[in-house]
Amino acid sequence: LSELEALMERMKRLQEDKEDEEASQEEMATRFEKEKKESLLVISGGICAFPVPFSFDDEIVSTDVSRYIEDPGFGYKDFARRGEDHLPTFRAQDYTWENHGFSLVNRLYSDIGHLLDEKFRMVYNLTYNTMATHEDVDTTMLRRALFNYVHCMYGIRYDDYDYGEVNQLLERSLKVYIKTVTCYPERTTKRMYDSYWRQFKHSEKVHVNLLLMEARMQAELLYALRAITRHLT
User: Is it the case that residue 53 has pLDDT exceeding 70?
Assistant: no
CA 12 to chain centroid, in Å, comes to 21
Does the structure show a pLDDT above 50 at 229?
A: yes
pLDDT tens figures, 169-200: 999 889 999 999 999 888 888 988 998 999 99
Distance spanning both ends of the chain, measured CA to CA: 55
Task: List phi, psi (to 5°) of 135.
Answer: -110, 165
Q: What is the pLDDT of residue 178?
A: 95
- pLDDT tens digits for 61-106? 445 666 777 776 777 777 666 666 677 899 999 999 999 999 999 9
pLDDT for residue 155: 92
| pTM, rounded to two decimals | 0.86
CA 11 – CA 122 distance, rounded (Å): 23
Q: What is the DSSP string of the chain?
A: --HHHHHHHHHHHHHHHHHH-PPPHHHHHHHHHHHHHHHHHB-GGG-BSS--SS--GGG------GGG-S-TT-----SS-TT-SS---EETTTS-IIIIIHHHHHHHSTTHHHHHHHHHHHHHH---SEETTEES---HHHHHHHHHHHHHHTTEE-TT--THHHHHHS-HHHHHHHHHHHH-GGG--HHHHHHSSTTS-HHHHHHHHHHHHHHHHHHHHHHHHHHHHHHH-
190 alpha-carbon distance from chain centroid: 20
Upper half-sphere CA count for residue 80 (Cβ side, 13 Å): 21
- When comparing pLDDT for 22 and 216, which is higher? 216
Tens digits of per-residue pLDDT, 95-129? Answer: 999 999 999 999 999 889 999 999 999 999 999 99
Contacts 24+ apart (CB under 8 A), 229-232: 229/95, 229/100, 229/104
Q: What is the CA radius of gyration of the chain?
A: 18
Model pLDDT, residue 169: 96
What's the farthest any 2 CA atoms get from each other in the chain? 55
User: Taking residues 208-232, what's their average pLDDT?
Assistant: 96
